[in-house]
Structure 1
Amino acid sequence: KKQKIVAVIDGLEDLFQEFAQNEDQQTALRALLQDVPQWLEQQPFRCLGIIIFVRQDILTASVRQNYGQMKSRYQPYRLRWNEESVLRLVAWVADKANISLNLNPAELQDMNEAELTESLRPLWGKNLGNDRSRQARSAPFVIAALSDYNGQIQSRDVVRFLKIAAGQSIDDDYWQDRILVPKAIRGCLDECSQEKITEIELENEPLKRVFNKLRPLSADQKKSPFQLENIDLSPEDISLLKENGVIIADGDKYYVSEIFRLGLGFSQNVGRPKIMALARRATQRL
């Protein structure tokens, strides 16, 4: 009786694959996410606890009332990578690969974003060009390209990017001041996007259904930005894409985030994709 037990629950998306439409699954999730914690709080000795890992879209679909209050309550525990965390992961992976960086591994956890950015110059340079070029800065570009329009980035996408970009950089001997060359950094994003979508479709059945609606579209329809009248998507489909950071609205136009755009086969309407500008616009709306 003196023992304390904490139950840890993860993988709800595997058990409740129809959470976006199925009311029974939504009721079950609501009971787990709201009723169970409330019941545990009322127990006199508090010997039982629970930790639930839940995706944002599952929470949004299942908790209709008091959603804002619940989101605010658990905001401090939200698992989210920021720019500094991403750069620290990149530096850690590079160090494990015996790439000589401008850092002391023992001090890695204490380095700030500016220090990490500077330390990674031997990995991918200052810019996606020479130091005097007007090309995008390497670190912000990579973060923007791998992030969705909710500002979220997954560690597996970062590690995959490093692997693919390294493979595509091996035969390029023009750049002597870096390991990952600009052409490989830009060129590997297509494969990164395709693999990310494959993984998401295994984890998120509602989003997979929307992706399946987008795949058969013609090349003329699959352009970013797009307008609703050119694509047969329901308001629910658009809402789901927004919630998952796949698209962002700008007036009556919708832009597809780079990490999804390439894998879904969407081309850019005009010129080179404005990855940095669109990422900044999305960040301002968060």
Structure 2
Amino acid sequence: MISYAECSARERLALIVDTGSFHEWLPPALKLTSPHLAQLGVPSSFDDGVAIGRAQLAGQPVFVAAQEGQFMGGGVGEVHGAKLVGLLRRALRDRPRAVLLLAESGGVRLHEANAGLIAVSEVMRAVLDVRAAGIPVIVLIGGSGGCFGGMGIVARCADHIVMSDIGRLAMSGPEVIEASHGVEEFDSRDRALVWRTTGGKHRWLTGDCDVLVEDDVIAFRTAAISALGATRPVTLDALEAEHARLSARLAFDGAEATALWSSLGVGAAERIPDLDVAGVLALGAP
């Protein structure tokens, strides 16, 4: 077993796609860096924190992107976002079997403010365009930095989400919630609380991710292969069903994830934090 969380972005790509099949666009030698960071005197990265390109997955052509959480928390800036948008728009032209996004990001890069916000909005639009064209977008979340902010929204725009039990997905990160509303509202240092409310188990139980896997690169690869070609059309009926599900969640009058799981019909909800992935899956989807 190779830990997905402990791998870098390029290590994940190399292990998930077919061996030796990844061809990177805008590779490190081009040194495509953010002009905004340079103006602020902030160190930049040769790829602006994301690798994009084409590859094969189980012999099928795919487009892939992997965010590097070790560079500015995987934050999206102008160049970072433009690379993602370019990949997605090229998918509309070349029509690969799927687009894989290995997401690890805290959201918009605050150093680039509006440029980052615009970039995320363009990525969301491009994801929906690709889905509308019948090309599935598959998001893998298992990095130690999680998937938050604008990238959390991007992930929920995709056809399929695969998460590990240590992956995290939310709109606002724990530190952001604590800074905005106080430690009484959300203690970001309480790791058990953080994972109960943003972790992979919680997201699978509440229907926010499609597949829950161990922290294992091969498990992610297997789940991605299973999702190839399985599109999920964006229809009015699907959107209304999603809104009804979210409305029911908003109506929940409680503060603990375990109580929410119980309200969804999950048995022995209090045991879930201590269960491994196999144990959680054995409970069945609510």
The interval holding the TM-score normalised by the smaller chain is under 0.3
TM-score, normalized by length of structure 1? 0.27
- Larger Rg over CA atoms: 1
* Higher helix content, 1 or 2: 1
Higher RCO (Cα < 8 Å, 6 or more apart): 1
